[in-house]
Amino acid sequence: MREVGQMVHRLVVSYGQPEDPAAFDAHYRDTHAALARQMPGLVRYTYGHARSTDPAQPAPYLVAELDFDSEQAMTEAFGSAQGQAAAADVATFASGGATMAHFDVRTVS
């Protein structure tokens, strides 16, 4: 396989097991996702409940992927009022914590 090229810059957010999964899911779906969708420069936003392929290693409770055209676009999005509101909201529902990582997405063919 060879690398074809850069497509987007991706932020991955992994949420730990919340104290109240039902409350987490409701807040994420009804409040947090709506805030995050408003960030300028966001080109794609997906999320889902993760399942581990190895029972010895637990998966995050939920994983979200937010795509931007570039790292600069992501930085500007989080500097915006909408990005700051989404970031501040995490503390209101993510009782299991949240880990964020970002990278340039490259396609291999």
Q: pLDDT band for position 108 (50/70/90)?
A: confident
Give the mean model confidence (pLDDT) for residues 40-65: 96
Rounded to whole angstroms, how far apart are CA atoms 102 and 66?
A: 9
Inform me whether the pLDDT recorded for 109 exceeds 80: no
pLDDT in the model for residue 107: 85
Measured CA distances, 97 to 10, 14, 44 (Å): 20, 8, 23
Q: Percentage of residues in the chain with pLDDT exceeding 70? A: 94
Inform me whether the pLDDT recorded for 40 exceeds 70: yes
Mean pLDDT computed over every residue of the chain: 93
Rounded to whole angstroms, how far apart are CA atoms 61 and 77?
A: 25
Q: pLDDT band for position 6 (50/70/90)?
A: low
Domains in the chain: ranges and CATH: 8-102 (3.30.70.100)
pTM: 0.89
Radius of gyration of the chain, Cα coordinates, nearest whole angstrom: 15
Burial 29-50 (b: 16+ CB within 10 A, else e): eeebeebbeebebbeeeebeee
Q: Tell me the per-residue pLDDT of 60-101, one tens digit each, with 9 for 90 and over.
A: 999 999 999 999 999 999 999 999 999 999 999 999 999 999
Helical packing angle, 71-79 and 81-93, nearest 10°: 80
Furthest-apart CA atoms within the chain: distance in Å:
44
